[in-house]
């Protein structure tokens, strides 16, 4: 059994405290999991004791036992000292008041009162999960991903479609919507809006091996939006942001797209940047949002496609 790093060991001990309240440095299960000796485990426990007043040491015969007192207080301390994790809690709480129903209600209510005058959320990761049916679908998909289970899903929108024996990869939140990333029975990568999934059923196949989806998992980190194509050669667009909006595309500003890269500041006050894409629809809607201050310099075919859309827009508005 490999030895856990100190950081991992401390976090794992905190998990143990929340499930069993008391821990001895002679706990054989923990010693085996951590791959360490009794003295090392005792040193870890003493360090946690020094960090949290709610963890105390007591003696049972000749052995020392560390006990967690007041889960509510230590939870509050953890949340308040984490980097704005309370923002995530408040955002979820606003859109689904019951989401933390099984946790320490008094503590969470107190946290909400403390910070509710600071934050306002107009979009939420919980927005599509309001009905009991949607929450059940979300839960079933989480289990399928965790256990590498085949599933069958029924999707609706313009027309109903059934995907049998799919491999669920990830639940992806992007563009203010939840998506299910999965591989269909013909080994094609697909994305479907969670709000369009009407039913999640089981398959009669056994669980699949994680190695069978490794190439798709490697693709997910470069997924830019729902229009990113799997297995398609990536192109690069060079775009100029006019001086009116240049400040939003400076090197130290938050990127609008994951592949966005600052290139240089031009003498006229504009900024050059590049964006990668697999098809025109992946980035043209973004460029249109900044009309008329984003200019496509290259490639020519992308610039031409954009001009055709603008011409069609003008024609539609002149009728």
Q: What is the pLDDT of residues 128-164, one digit of tens each?
A: 677 788 888 998 999 999 999 999 999 987 789 999 9
Query: pLDDT tens-digit profile of 224-247?
Result: 999 999 999 999 999 999 999 999
Neighbours of 130 (CB within 10 A): 11
How do strand 63-68 and strand 55-60 relate by DSSP bridges? Answer: antiparallel
* Per-residue pLDDT at 34: 87
Question: Given this model, what pLDDT does residue 59 score?
Answer: 72
- DSSP code of 255? P
Q: For the chain, give the number of residues.
A: 319
Residue 99 has pLDDT above 80, yes or no: no
> pLDDT at residue 166 above 60?
yes
Q: How confident is the model at residue 9 (pLDDT cuts 50, 70, 90)?
A: confident
Which pair of structure tokens corresponds to residue 291? 């009309």
Across the beta sheet with 55-60, the strand order is: 22-24, 63-68, 55-60
Angle at 194 (CA atoms; ends 190, 196), nearest 5 degrees? 90
Closest listed residue to residue 219, CA positions, set 177, 189, 257, 187: 189
Query: With bands split at pLDDT 50, 70 and 90, how would you rate the model's confidence at 93?
Result: low
Q: In 3D, which of 196, 190, 137, 134 has the Cα closest to residue 167?
A: 190
């Amino acid at each position: 059994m490999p030895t856990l790093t100190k950081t991992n060991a401390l976090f794992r001990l905190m998990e143990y405290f929340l499930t069993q309240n008391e821990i001895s440095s002679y706990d054989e299960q923990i010693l085996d999991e951590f791959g360490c000796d009794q003295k090392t485990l005792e040193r870890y426990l003493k360090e946690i004791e020094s960090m949290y007043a709610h963890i105390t040491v007591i003696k049972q015969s000749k052995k020392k036992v560390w006990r967690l007192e007041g889960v509510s207080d230590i939870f509050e301390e953890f949340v308040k000292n984490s980097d704005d994790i309370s923002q995530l809690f408040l955002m979820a709480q606003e859109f689904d008041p019951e989401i933390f129903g099984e946790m320490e209600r008094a503590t969470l209510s107190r946290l909400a009162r403390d910070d509710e005058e600071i934050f306002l959320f107009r979009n939420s990761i919980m927005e599509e999960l309001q009905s009991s049916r949607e929450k059940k679908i979300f839960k079933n998909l989480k289990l399928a991903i965790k256990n590498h289970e085949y599933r069958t899903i029924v999707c609706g929108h313009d027309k109903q479609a059934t995907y049998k024996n799919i491999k669920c990869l990830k639940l992806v939140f992007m563009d203010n919507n939840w998506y299910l990333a999965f591989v269909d029975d013909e080994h094609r990568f697909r994305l479907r809006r969670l709000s369009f999934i009407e039913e999640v059923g089981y398959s009669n196949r056994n669980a699949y091996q994680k190695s069978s989806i490794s190439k798709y998992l490697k693709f997910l980190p470069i997924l830019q939006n729902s229009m990113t194509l799997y297995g398609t050669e990536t192109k690069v667009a060079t775009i100029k942001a006019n001086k009116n909006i240049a400040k939003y595309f400076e090197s130290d500003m938050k990127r609008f797209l994951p592949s966005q890269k600052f290139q240089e500041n031009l003498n006229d006050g504009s900024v050059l940047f590049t964006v990668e894409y697999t098809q025109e629809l992946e980035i043209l809607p973004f460029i249109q949002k900044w009309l008329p201050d984003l200019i496509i310099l290259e490639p020519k075919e992308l610039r031409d496609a954009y001009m055709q859309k603008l011409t069609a827009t003008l024609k539609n508005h002149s009728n």
